[in-house]
A and B are shown apart, each in its own frame.
Chain A
Amino acid sequence: MKLSLDHGCLRGLSWRLEPASDGALERLRPALAGGWVDRTVMASVWHFEAREGAHQLVIVPSTGRLQLRVHYTVPRAARRSTARELARRLAEALGEGEVETDSEDALLAAELLGAQGDVVDPELDGD
């Protein structure tokens, strides 16, 4: 399972999941039964919500796109680790191995960690 940042203007909340094995989508629905609630309203887009943490998993069956949405209340610094943990559980449920992330995401992780500090530059104070 590969995990990488997806687009989105709220940093670190949307992640793209790419299962390593073929046929993962068919196995996904039963694999989600335990920890996720099916919130699908359109047949063309499947929507699941995690029982714990209200994170979301959105699946486009026609293209195979999987998007993991970390809940917005998760602090910036913890978003990547939360996404990784959710991806790890999904990979395990699908019988896949380690979760891979790309180097670009490591850069974001550094940025998110840096952003978490509570020190505010008075020169940057905004109105």
Chain B
Amino acid sequence: MPTNDGSLRNYALSHDLMSMAGAPAVYHCHHFNLFLDQTIDDALGNTDGRKLRFAAAREASHDFLRGLFARLRPTTPAEKIQLATETIAKMGHGRLSISADANGGTAVGEFLHYGYGWAQKYGHRVRCRTPQDAFAAGFAAAALEVTFDLPPSVEAAETQCVAMRAPQCQFSLTKGAPAPRQTSLLASDVLRFARPAFDGQDEQQIATIAKGLRDFTGQVGGDERGLVQAFGVFVTMHLACYYNRIAYGALGELEKRAPTSVPVLESLLRESGHVCVFNTFGGILLSPEWEGMVGRPKTPREVVVGALAIARALGFGHWTLEDFAPNERLVVRAPATYESVYFLARHGKAARPNEYFLQGAVLAIAQLAHRVKWNEKVELTQEFYDSLFHGVVPWKAEQSKATTLGHEYSEVVVTKVA
């Protein structure tokens, strides 16, 4: 994704972890983004869910914007705000116009990824009753804080949202009580927790495809509305700390409030992996771009190899193929994932295997490899998704190793169930 100087996106190539202006980053589509946000609200309730999402967005954006300003050195407040909003638009989050000083102000959003994505996905069927752009709100708050060197104290309330059928999204920005400042988590911080990299089966092929995809995504940026439409979805380059903070933050909160509900949330976090693989991986595998670069997949193994390359190009980690027996078993290993390095850096050792996105994604790869007729006309509809993941799923996924438990690598084993 091109940015102002073309060098803000960086990959730690041995681990296929991505950063943007020094902040850990990954690509995810609007289906995943909406699903994960909804999952957090389902777990904590709308009010607390939104609070957590706002706080996560503000924290992650804080680190990102400090890195951005340090690299590109804008000087005046107006230059800083402009750089912040232009960069987030190039990352596919839509257009945000901020009119504010150190005491607060307003922001207007047009084509914001979450609100607009919600309207596109659900708006023709249901009316949304709550604003959807907690990420943009947190970003706007962080933009003010970093621009004016304030502690985390700016509150942003979304007063209108296109998902609620308003013509545009509007935010009020006010100064509140300073919140405790979280320790920064930059790419350099989390990468210290990556275990030594290794290769797996079909390594050369996976690496070559991943490189081609990285080169391709490097050419793609937000359009004049600040959206990236690619592979049949709206894509964002997003801050990985946002995803991790809301997922692990909601789990931590639920463990205190309602521990018996934790398995339900874990299951939904796994499902976010299904949503991502079905929509984004599926969209990529069916795209003309893939057909031209790689060729339409013909066998389950080609789907698996392609999917691992996609995961790497999206910045999810160095996902390797340890074992694959069609219709029987799929084993994926990684020395680090965007979940594991965050968890280790922020929380330390885990109590149980907890790379939920990885767990769900590997199961979904097995489903895509075996249950999609790639040589026929395929439509990635909600109905098709439901038929693949909400009926009888003939696979069981188990995370048998986790770097968050102290193992040398993370491993997910997917086996066929009778």
Contacts and interface: CB of A to CB of B under 8 A. Distances in A.
Given A7-B232, A7-B380, A41-B216, A115 B124 contact: yes
Given A7-B380, A58-B288, A14 B227 contact: no
Interface residues of B, number: 35
Among A8, A45, A116, A124: residue with most chain B CB under 10 A: A8
B126 A120 contact: yes
A42 interface: yes
Contact of A126 (B122, B279, B293, B381): B122
Interface residues of A, number: 32
Given A125-B127, A127-B46, A45 B283 contact: no
A20 interface: no
B289 A9 contact: no
Contacts of B296: 63
B292 A10 contact: no
Contact of B292 (A8, A54, A62, A127): A62
Contact of A13 (B225, B232, B289): B232
Interface in A87-115: 115
A28 interface: no
B291 A126 contact: no
A104 B227 CA distance: 30
Given A115-B125, A124-B126, A9 B288 contact: no
Interface in B278-313: 279, 283, 286, 288-289, 291-293, 296
Contacts of A58: 288-289
B31 interface: yes
Contact of A41 (B219, B229, B378): B219
Interface in B339-393: 377-381
Interface string B24-45: 0000000100000000010000
A80 interface: no
CB-CB nearest 6 A-B residue pairs: A8-B232, A45-B292, A44-B292, A115-B124, A126-B126, A60-B292
Interface of B: 31, 41, 46, 120, 122, 124-130, 216, 219, 223, 225, 227, 229, 232-234, 279, 283, 286, 288-289, 291-293, 296, 377-381
20 contacts: A7-B283, A7-B377, A7-B380, A9-B380, A13-B232, A41-B219, A42-B292, A42-B293, A45-B288, A54-B223, A58-B288, A59-B288, A63-B296, A69-B229, A72-B227, A72-B229, A115-B124, A126-B122, A126-B127, A126-B128
